[in-house]
């Protein structure tokens, strides 16, 4: 249920944090309700007023936004009109190009509005992130060979040279829209997931039919071709490691936690949204790699801790990163992706709650640090929209 407060202005504390997001369907159009409720309650403990607002509901003349605040007293999300927030925590996910186009300009304008501090600026697509990481000599050896898909002739060239490849959308998440394409006896095999996260498994006798199908599948969306890595257990289950890097109460980067994400049987990705599950990283790697697990884990940690520093050098301010790291069947470590708006479901699924709690608390602790020391915080802004 939602209590409407359209007729009066909501009174807020001096220091406010606005969670900026795209509206969801339903009477209360707040996505990630459980996560945002926790942020609100933690913020209150820290002396911050936290509310959710939408980029398409901004009154620029009166410096007001329409949004929702969670009331611990009523246990409800209450609609209201709020003054511009002092700090903005960006959790906007764009479902399609039209949504992105509609929100792009108001977010740009909000970024340049005096008195508003964005905790971090969202990264661009996967290709842009890959190019920034390639500049660092310590990270470059861990990046799999990657190029932009220009047309299906690129796929034919890769298959001729390597026999298999991984195809992923530049702006995708949750393993949606990814494909593994490989040469098989008498044709080509294609497995993966649609943009709706539905499983895909086809065999094609001819290259032409396979490429025609891929062309229709990608539908003009920007894609990347990447070297296919054998990131799976002996039984063939795909897995990777999610490292959550966050800024803490002192404004410093820290490794909040590591979690292994194992995909559903037969899946080409490890994403939990495709039916996978999460486990603690150390024992999982120990079972797979034995005595080598310790060195692998240290490499994973070192790599994860290097990524935020490199990306901030080239992109601008960030607040947190989900760094996805793969380990192949030979024990080699690979940096797969870095996401500036990471989920937390992998840590919530682990038996220990320390990382899960820190994953939620750190954004508000960092927001408090920023607002406490705002005059001393660098205000470099990235042109990420």
pLDDT attached to residue 175: 77
Smallest CA-to-CA distance from 366 within 252, 234, 236 is with: 252
Smallest CA-to-CA distance from 71 within 39, 48, 46, 37 is with: 37
- Does residue 3 surpass a pLDDT of 50? no
pLDDT attached to residue 99: 83
pLDDT, tens digit, 9 for 90 and up, residues 15-53? 999 999 999 999 999 999 999 999 999 999 999 999 999
Please name the fold of domain 2-118: Rossmann fold (3.40.50)
* Residues 355 and 245 sit within 8 Å (Cβ to Cβ): no
- Does residue 287 surpass a pLDDT of 60? yes
Quickly state the pLDDT bin for 6 (edges 50, 70, 90): very low
- Does residue 1 surpass a pLDDT of 70? no
Quickly state the pLDDT bin for 375 (edges 50, 70, 90): low
- Does residue 155 surpass a pLDDT of 80? yes
Q: How far is CA 254 from CA 56, 136, 247, 302, 339, in A?
A: 33, 20, 6, 11, 16
Quickly state the pLDDT bin for 277 (edges 50, 70, 90): confident
pLDDT attached to residue 176: 87
State the angle between helix axes of 152-162 and 207-218 in degrees (0 to 180), rounded to the nearest 10. 130
pLDDT attached to residue 95: 76
Please name the fold of domain 126-143+231-365: D-amino Acid Aminotransferase; Chain A, domain 1 (3.30.470)
Quickly state the pLDDT bin for 113 (edges 50, 70, 90): very high
The residue-averaged pLDDT of 85-114 equals: 91
pLDDT attached to residue 269: 67
Query: In the chain, how many H helices and how many E strands?
Result: 9, 18
Quickly state the pLDDT bin for 12 (edges 50, 70, 90): very low
* Residues 122 and 106 sit within 8 Å (Cβ to Cβ): no
> pTM score, two decimals?
0.90
pLDDT attached to residue 97: 79
CA distance 198 to 193: 5
pLDDT, tens digit, 9 for 90 and up, residues 181-219? 999 999 999 999 998 888 899 999 999 999 999 999 999
- Does residue 10 surpass a pLDDT of 70? no
Proportion of the chain above pLDDT 70, given as a percent: 91
CA distance 23 to 314: 30
């Amino acid at each position: 249920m939602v209590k409407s407060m359209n007729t009066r202005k909501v009174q807020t504390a001096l220091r406010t944090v606005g969670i900026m997001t795209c509206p969801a369907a339903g009477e209360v159009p707040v996505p990630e309700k459980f996560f945002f409720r926790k942020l609100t309650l933690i913020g209150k403990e820290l002396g911050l007023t936290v509310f959710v607002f939408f980029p398409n509901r901004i009154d620029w003349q009166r410096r007001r936004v329409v949004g929702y605040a969670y009331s611990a007293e009523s246990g409800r999300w209450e609609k209201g009109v709020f003054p511009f927030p002092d700090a903005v925590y960006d959790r906007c996910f764009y479902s399609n190009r039209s949504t992105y186009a509609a929100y792009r300009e108001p977010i740009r304008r909000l970024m340049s509005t005096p008195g508003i501090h964005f905790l971090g600026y969202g990264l661009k697509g996967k290709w842009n992130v890959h190019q920034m990481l390639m500049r660092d000599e310590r990270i470059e050896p861990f990046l799999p060979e990657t190029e932009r898909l220009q047309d299906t002739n690129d796929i034919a060239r890769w298959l001729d040279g390597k026999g298999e490849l991984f195809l992923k959308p530049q702006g995708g998440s949750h393993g949606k829209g990814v494909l593994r394409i490989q040469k098989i006896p008498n044709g080509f095999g294609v497995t993966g997931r649609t943009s709706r996260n539905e499983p895909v498994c086809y065999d094609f006798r001819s290259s032409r039919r396979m490429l025609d199908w891929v062309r229709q599948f990608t539908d003009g969306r920007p894609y990347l071709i990447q070297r296919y890595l054998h990131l799976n257990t002996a039984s063939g289950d795909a897995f990777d490691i999610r490292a959550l890097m966050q800024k803490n109460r002192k404004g410093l980067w820290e490794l909040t936690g590591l979690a292994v994400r194992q995909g559903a049987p037969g899946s080409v990705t490890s994403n939990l949204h495709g039916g996978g599950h999460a486990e603690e990283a150390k024992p999982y790697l120990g079972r797979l790699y034995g005595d080598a697990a310790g060195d692998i884990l240290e490499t994973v940690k070192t790599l994860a801790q290097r990524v935020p520093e490199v990306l901030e050098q080239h992109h601008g301010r960030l607040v947190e990163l989900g760094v996805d790291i793969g380990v192949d069947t030979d024990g080699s470590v690979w940096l797969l992706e870095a996401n500036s708006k990471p989920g937390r479901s992998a840590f919530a699924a682990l038996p220990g709650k320390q990382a899960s709690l820190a994953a939620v608390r750190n954004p508000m602790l960092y927001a408090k640090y920023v607002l406490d020391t705002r005059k001393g915080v660098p205000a470099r802004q990235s042109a990420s929209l």
